[in-house]
Chains A and B, each alone.
Chain A
């Protein structure tokens, strides 16, 4: 293997190939099955890569580098490190789950739908594995474009405006980042290539880490990159695109957006922002954490007031991401370890939440909490599985999110007790709105909307059971996840010193 086929290659090309095949699928079933088969293959590759973590021994298995723009000093360089392995695993697990539960039977142009979805996966994989700034930027945008089309074509009534808002926000952010990339690039050292040519500057990640930048320059560049990542996460006050986009996108796409795509922002901070501008990051940490904490409390309050289930889940996601961002900028070992675990867990849990919301919306045709009541009587299995996922979402002990949130709060507490207090408010509020929602939707008396509802079918059961299984497994035994990611924490802490 090694020299011919590598894990990063497979992780990118399998989804692209799948997207290509989907385009030529004859009907919906065919397209969907192609996508599922390929996404399971990708999952297999991703799991296999977990057994080749030794970076020195399996160097050639985990890294791909082709000379791309020689005299600019840009390589097509992708590879797997600890963080990348975790996030590609999340992407690889997420997509089959999402695809299996997507059951829009009357989808128009199903082959394009699944094709674009698989291209999104390729873009996401690329972002998580890029070790070269230009490669990173390419994949960053590449993940955005298919999602734009997915949401605009197959979304809800106000899809065009909502999606366009989302697009303009992220596009403006990424252009700022592009300027930042160019600026740093011009301050990097020369890069020598394998074939002997030398470029005056370099786009390589390591060269970016070592770029010579003054304090003021760091501050400006920090702003340029941070805005791009903050929009993607999103962090208050850059979050206004999100509830609309989540609400109007087809739920399948919303799962991708909230489960995996928001991790792009956090990942950007982890891989690029913090190590590139350590001093500026430390300098602005309090500001960022304050914004995040405001976001947590504000989003939680909004979630409490929501009557629309989809928006409730969207706001709850903003709150959770806010907590992760705050913990990232606490910048101590515990909190960063917590974020790394939580990124994975949040992805699993939020996909689970969306799957249930999608099932409810499909079966009843409404998404208003006030119009739903007594689902537990007609769909008991769904209710039990959903309650477990919801409890994981509010990070009860024994569920996967507990470990992560515990570590993050411990880290925030070390940074400043008040941050931990206010962020903790978010957890309490999340219990309020989640339990409130469960009570109203699943319990109470059966009304005319919910009487006819049948319980979930076998596929849905299987998918939800897999999610619940992951929740309990990591909740009881989080060590594998910690082992997988601890290397990144050490490296990052080293850079921040």
Chain B
């Protein structure tokens, strides 16, 4: 019973376990990557790209909601700003290559995010949600009134152009792999952010803001940065979406869209890395399947019901529940 334990052995065991876990993770990620690479040969690439764009949107949103604890009800504004900016530039300046248009769209969304953050960051909880919602509505009205957006008709025929002036994006496969690379890069970036010391501080703020303040952190600055990064990634998602569909419309700016990204994140599992991706896949598929069937007019109530059910019964979402299950039964 009381055999002396060598601390080095414990350390070794832990490292060994870590290695096994890392290997497992690597394998899962590798399989996922292979699936994503092979997917366009099985499924319609445009549909897959739609999922990826919304997944990126949800990942961006989750950085703020799931990891920092700030519920923005105005993220549609960034999606739309990215989309409209990229669409406008690519449509009107033929010299621009696609990636320049996308970078510009992302930059605009980033600036808008900074403005939103500076105005709203001092409010908390539901106030924060209301302020961001109202600010996004202001942006919505701006797009409704502006001529360059095409108003209610939307902006059509945005050219996909050529990536770096070399790769023809009119080809759906090329476009898909470009979107995939951007998505994976952003996903890894968020993973890196969440795991970094900065991400730890965000989590600390989420758990208990006064404590973080008393530990000497300038909480507002951390929150503003998180907001801006989140807005930038949401804008990037919007920019890519407008290139993929060659269309930017008021739908993207509507508060309905802000609600949808909340639903995606919540259903998938907020505060988990994979959750928003799963949630976006789920919601986009549900919407597609419903729109094909006899329930096509019931999409909104069904989404609303999913919302209510998730909040009441599956608070941790699909990924969160699976994690819990694994921990309980296998861990």
Partners in one complex: no
